[in-house]
Every structure is written in structure tokens, then in C-alpha cells.
Amino acid sequence: MANMNVRYQRPNYALQTLAQQLRNTYGNPARPYEYVTGYKSATNFSGHNPDSNGIVHAVDIFVGPGNLTEAQGIGVAEALRVSKDWRASYIIHRQRICGAYNGWQWEPYGGPDGHYDHIHVSIADLYWGDPCPVPASTYDNTQAWAIGSIATLAGATITPIQEEEDMGTVEAFTPQALNQLMDFAVERQGAQGGTISLRAFLAYDDAKTIATRQAIYDAAVATITGIMNTEVERQGYPGGGTITLGAFLAWTDTNTVALAEKVGAVAEASRGIDKTTVERTIREALSGLSITLTTSQEAS
């Protein structure tokens, strides 16, 4: 149960060890690593909440000018994932999440914050002021994190914050680098196994999407055509027999227009004429439409 009277004391030592390793590799970030992020709420369940001893068990590592570059952020997140550190619970980055709960395999993250501007590393989640579910021997263990490969994955320097007048020159990928990226083979996740390049995957996905849309359209057309061409029994029609929905709708449309025109003409011509004459005139007008008029006297 949340205890909002608990005051923040410090991040756990395991996360402080990770932060120092990152500083050693990339230098001091422009935006310091964040442990308590300000979401103080009795209903918030997060590693950013201090436990009953005031110790916080999550850290945000930022990506952007003066911090990790985008490529470095991806490299750090991947190195953390591959390391499967025994102290970590899960990590989130670029709308993906992985952790001990799923064998450290990336899967889509559906939270409102996509975590594109930072990497979230959590050792334990809890309500504000709750006892930590993880023992101190785990969260305060200062063993180095096995992320030595991040230097080769993402480079080893932080892009400095540029002065305003120097901004505007952005280094783009060269065609050669883009081609290498598009042809880079990654392992298939699922039953098929093997590898596939990004170029092949995008081409396959595009072709499959087009084929799927066409198949849905064709199925819809076939279904509607089948319904329109289905013969149904006429109800109450003197001649009996059957009629298709398509023929019925077409017949109704043309007869409605003709009926409106004839009734309008009869009504205009019937001004001052007795009722019997009007009924006879309407009968004659409708005779070509196969519509039978029943008067109130006939019905009774």
C-alpha cells in the first residue's frame, strides 16, 4: 500500500554502477540520468517510485543532443538486452520492451510514452513507499554490468550540444550506408526461422499488403454480388414466383418514380371531381404498373 510520506533518498547502487559505466564510456550527459521522474501518485506503479527506505529502482538514460545519439541509444539498449543482467527486470526503448519475463526478446510496447527519447531500465516496480520486492543483495550489488560491447555497437562519444548558430547541418546516411543497412540480415522471429534482410522484408510486406487488400475487396464484391443475385420468394404478389434483390430494388426504384409522377398528375387533374371519378382515374393510371388499388369499401 502506498505511503506518500516516504522521502526519496537515493538510487540503488546497481543503477549507480550502470550510470557510472555509461559516463566512463560516453562522458557526462547534458541531461543527467533520472531516477525519480516526478510522477508522485498513490496510484502510480513504477520503478521511479522510492521504496519504504527511499531507494529508487529505475533509471532513464536520455537520447538527444548532448546525450546519447540515436544510434548510441539503440546500441546501449541492445547491449543491455543481450547482457540479460540478473539484477534487471525489464527495459523499454523505441516503443519496444523486453525483460526476464519473456526471455529478453523485444516485443511491442503499448504504453502512452514510446520512450524514443530515453531508455528505461527497471530493477523493480512498486507503489510509492512500498517495501521493495527485490532483496538489497540484488538491487545494491555493484557488480559491473556486462555491456562492454556498447562501444563497438554505437561508438564511444556523446554528440556535443551545438551553439544555435552552428545548428542546421545534419549529417545524413550515405547511399552506401543505407544499402548496407537495407541488406543487413536479421534473424526471423517465429516458426519459419532463418534470416531476412530489411530490403526483402519491406518488399514482402508491401506485396503481401497489396495482395491482402485485393483479396478482401474481391471477397466483398463476391459476397455482395451473391446476395444481390439470390432468388427469394415473392410475398403477396398475385403472380407468385421469385425475384432477386437486385431486380426488386431496380423495379422499386423505377416504379416509385412512375407512381409519383402519375399520382401527381391525377391529383392535379382531379380538382373539383367527385371521389368515384378520382378512384377510376387512378385505377386507369396505375394499370400499367401492375399495382392493384383497394378502396376502403372493397376492403370492408
pLDDT bin (cut points 50, 70, 90) of residue 216 is: confident
Query: Going edge to edge, which strands form the sheet with 107-108?
Result: 58-62, 118-122, 90-93, 96-99, 107-108
Give the residue, 121 or 155, on which the prediction is more confident. Answer: 121
Average confidence (pLDDT) over 118-136: 94
Judge whether residue 19 has pLDDT over 90: yes
Write down the pLDDT at residue 11.
95
Write down the pLDDT at residue 16.
95
Write down the pLDDT at residue 290.
53
Give the residue, 130 or 228, on which the prediction is more confident. Answer: 130
Write down the pLDDT at residue 282.
66
Cα 235 to Cα 257: distance, rounded to the nearest angstrom: 22
Average confidence (pLDDT) over 101-125: 93
Judge whether residue 149 has pLDDT over 80: no
From 86-95, 107-116, 193-202, 251-260, the region with the lowest mean pLDDT: 251-260
Write down the pLDDT at residue 55.
95
The per-residue pLDDT for range 41-77, each reduced to its tens digit, is 888 899 999 999 999 999 999 999 999 999 999 999 9
Judge whether residue 17 has pLDDT over 50: yes
Establish how many alpha carbons lie within 13 A of residue 166's alpha carbon, considering only the half-sphere containing its beta carbon.
6
Q: Please provide the average confidence, as pLDDT, over all residues in the chain.
A: 78
Write down the pLDDT at residue 87.
95
Judge whether residue 198 has pLDDT over 80: no
pLDDT bin (cut points 50, 70, 90) of residue 115 is: very high
pLDDT bin (cut points 50, 70, 90) of residue 230 is: confident
Give the residue, 5 or 165, on which the prediction is more confident. Answer: 5
Judge whether residue 166 has pLDDT over 50: no
Average confidence (pLDDT) over 181-192: 70
Q: List, in sequence order, the alpha helices (H) in the chain.
A: 13-26, 70-83, 136-139, 150-154, 175-182, 198-228, 245-269, 275-286, 296-299
pLDDT bin (cut points 50, 70, 90) of residue 93 is: very high
The secondary element (H helix, E strand) that includes residue 55 is: strand 55-56
For the chain, report the end-to-end CA distance as a whole number of angstroms: 79
Judge whether residue 264 has pLDDT over 80: no
